[in-house]
Structure 1
């Protein structure tokens, strides 16, 4: 016997999916499946089925599965960049507040990461080829994020912006891994305390 709630859930999703253009439906389905099951485990047919389209339609928008993976990760990276941009607008003259705001964004996202994992970390584990376009995209994104943090540390007047940004990056990345493997409790609280301590130490120096 079919549960009425299940019918309502499926109907609701079908209604939402129908309103999206085909390319967006494909990306939405890929994001859901890649995040939940991993890149290697998900085939093109599964993505097409989830997007309520066909493999032929999928390949009209994305020449290969690798191209779809790369575009998905490009969107994920853009979301992080957008956070930096919003913080710059909110705190235009306060670099320290921008750094702490980014740390808070990561801290608030840790519960989700504990269930699904970080898309960048998960993808790197599945893409050992350093020449893979999606892997190069992740590496470029992380390098750009470090440069942006370094610039904020310099604007905050820290004694060694390069070192401070590297320490903060270690904390942000480490907190996400710890949340994913469940090794450290209250990871978000600890993340915020450590980042604040890094800023205070370098400011004092």
Structure 2
């Protein structure tokens, strides 16, 4: 049986909680979650530990809140572009690959924030992992659905192959460089979709 998803933490409302959340989101992405201490968070947010623990029961719950925010924004997956009603169904899987390549080329991009959180927390019972895993599985199903609507004979396999390419490109950017990883993703994605989708209708 799958582990239940953590109950959402109420989004911070007080000014101190909002500052903590914003600072945590920035630092967690730029330097890593475990590398960011509570003291640093409070100092840069201009608040105290008391304010932090008043807004969030623990650092783990703050982490889960930040990861949940990343999931809601969906800033790196950008699947919404692929659901544009003006975009033909067959072209939507290619739009997913393009969105991922475009994300790689954004200055400061160092990977999917949700994926980075998964890498930092091996325990699937961690509050942040529950949020992140649920998000990734939802995206997997959405991409498979796009592939089905595009006419792929095996949409599940194609969707998973697309995910592997995107996740691999995000990971490879650290040593290839973002531009090279983006280009490699575009070339591999083109070959994959050309082989896995039926030819365009005349």
Instruction: State TM-score, norm by structure 1.
Output: 0.79
Structure 1 residues 50 and 97: CA distance shift in structure 2, 3 A: farther
Alignment match, 1:6: none
Cα pair 2:90 2:151 within 8 Å, conserved: no
Q: Distance in 2 between matches of 1:113 and 1:138?
A: 24
**Does residue 1:106 correspond to 2:100, yes or no?**
yes
Structure 1 residues 116 and 183: CA distance shift in structure 2, 3 A: closer
Q: Deviations over 1:20-48 (max 9, x none)?
A: 93332111100122122222221212111
Alignment match, 2:198: 204
Alignment match, 2:31: 37
**Does residue 1:83 correspond to 2:78, yes or no?**
yes
Structure 1 residues 161 and 117: CA distance shift in structure 2, 3 A: closer
Alignment match, 1:58: 52
Alignment match, 2:162: 168
Alignment match, 1:25: 19
Q: Distance in 2 between matches of 1:182 and 1:118?
A: 16
Deviation of residue 115 (structure 1)?
6.1
Cα pair 1:158 1:164 within 8 Å, conserved: yes
Q: Distance in 1 between matches of 2:109 and 2:94?
A: 24
Deviation of residue 185 (structure 1)?
6.4
The count of corresponding residues between Structure 1 and Structure 2 is: 185
Alignment match, 1:193: 187
Cα pair 1:114 1:179 within 8 Å, conserved: no
Q: Deviations over 1:73-111 (max 9, x none)?
A: 1111122288323442x3455234332222222212224
Deviation of residue 166 (structure 1)?
0.8
Q: Deviations over 1:125-168 (max 9, x none)?
A: 32121211111221111111110000000100111100110110
Alignment match, 2:136: 142
- Asked which structure has the greater CA Rg, the reply is 1
Alignment match, 1:97: 91
Instruction: State TM-score, norm by structure 2.
Output: 0.80
Note the residue ranges of structure 1 that are not aligned, 5 or more in a row: 1-19
Deviation of residue 175 (structure 1)?
0.4
